[in-house]
Amino acid sequence: EHQKLKRLKGNRAATLDGVVVELHGNIELPQDVAAVQESGATGIGLFRSEFLFMNRADLPGEDEQFEAYREVAEAMNGMPVTIRTLDLGADKPLAGLTAHTLNPALGLRAIRLCLAEPKLFRTQLRAILRASHFGQVRILIPMLSSLPELRQTQYAIEAAKASLVADGIAFDPAVKVGGMIEIPAAALAAQSFAERMDFLSIGTNDLIQYTLAIDRADDSVSHLYDPLHPAVLQLIAMTIRAGEKAGKPVSVCGEMAGDPLLTRLLLGLGLRSYSMHPASLLSVKQRVLKSNSVEAAAQAGKIMRGHEPDKLQTLLARLNA
């Protein structure tokens, strides 16, 4: 089976009826790029940059970050490399930078932390922008919840660009900026984000956590963590539709993207871009290759209209048959 999957590496990911799907890899550190290349991914959909900051005593400066981002951009040889700005806090704490609050998942984390620490954010933005001169780098903003926050973020990006211009340092002035949709409010307002950004990426791990009020790191409630909850599926479907309407690509980069049992459901909801751990990529590609997008859409519609949990499993099994 593994050998059979490996033969799919060079195949284009397209459905039986010719719908092309992007399959990208998630990485935590530059050394993970090898596995992404080995998987036949056509890009990196999520570079969790906070891992450059973890498990060390000091913070990486602009040059060190730039070298890491450039290494990945160059290795991917013109394919998209989506670098997510720092997503520290909650399940990814960092001593000295993130405070342990009573409720870290709802606290000063990710983009909130970056906007509260302008120097930290500017250093990272400059490093990412500098790397954009060496490949197809895209910037991805985690945990957006509101438009004022987006405006502040865009302002910070413009300011980082201006500082590079002033220093005479090269970068791609057209670098694309996308937003993670992982807070229910952002999914409900996805249209506004889609209109103002170049692309969206749905972080299902956090979206499920916040929609269902299930701490993703708390084992005592893990049995309630349900990617198929109708509310979760509605928010995903809304976000995909918002992207279609605004003409902006939408991808899923949470764990749902790497589950072959959900490939067809997401395809049926209109998803055309998946980003996942490279180990899942060929299994997901195999599902795409065996799917018909029109049939998947019809079956996904049935799943969206049904609200009986026991029927859901039957419908999902039928979709995957």
> Structure tokens of 65?
């970050």
Is 205 annotated to bind a ligand? Reply is: yes
Round to whole Å and give the CA distance between 68 and 164: 18
Residue of the chain from 182, 189, 210, 288 that contacts ligand PEP (CB under 6 A) = 182
CA within 13 Å, CB half, 295: 15
Is 244 annotated to bind a ligand? Reply is: no
Which amino acid is it at 128? I
Give yes or no for residue 206 binding ligand PEP (CB under 6 A). Answer: yes
Give yes or no for residue 50 binding Mg ion (CB under 5 A). Answer: no
Distance of CA 201 to the CA centre of its chain: 4
Give yes or no for residue 258 binding ligand PEP (CB under 6 A). Answer: no
Residue of the chain from 50, 206, 215, 259 that contacts Mg ion (CB under 5 A) = 206
Residue placing its CB nearer to ligand PEP in the complex, 76 or 105: 105
Give yes or no for residue 89 binding ligand PEP (CB under 6 A). Answer: no
Give yes or no for residue 203 binding Mg ion (CB under 5 A). Answer: yes
Distance of CA 306 to the CA centre of its chain: 28
CA within 13 Å, CB half, 30: 14
Let me know if 114 is a catalytic residue. Answer: no
Q: Identify which of 129, 127, 141 has the alpha carbon closest to the alpha carbon of residue 175.
A: 129
Q: Under rule CB under 5 A, which residues in 140-179 are in contact with Mg ion?
A: none
Stretch touching ligand PEP by CB under 6 A, among 60-68, 123-131, 167-175, 197-205: 197-205
Q: Identify which of 177, 226, 181 has the alpha carbon closest to the alpha carbon of residue 207.
A: 181
Round to whole Å and give the CA distance between 244 and 261: 24
| Catalytic hit among 41, 81, 253, 281 | 253
CA within 13 Å, CB half, 2: 1
Residue placing its CB nearer to ligand PEP in the complex, 48 or 272: 48
Residue ranges for the known binding site are: 48, 84, 182, 205-206, 216
Name the residues that contact ligand PEP, by CB under 6 A: 46, 48, 87, 182, 203-206, 253-254
Catalytic residues: 253
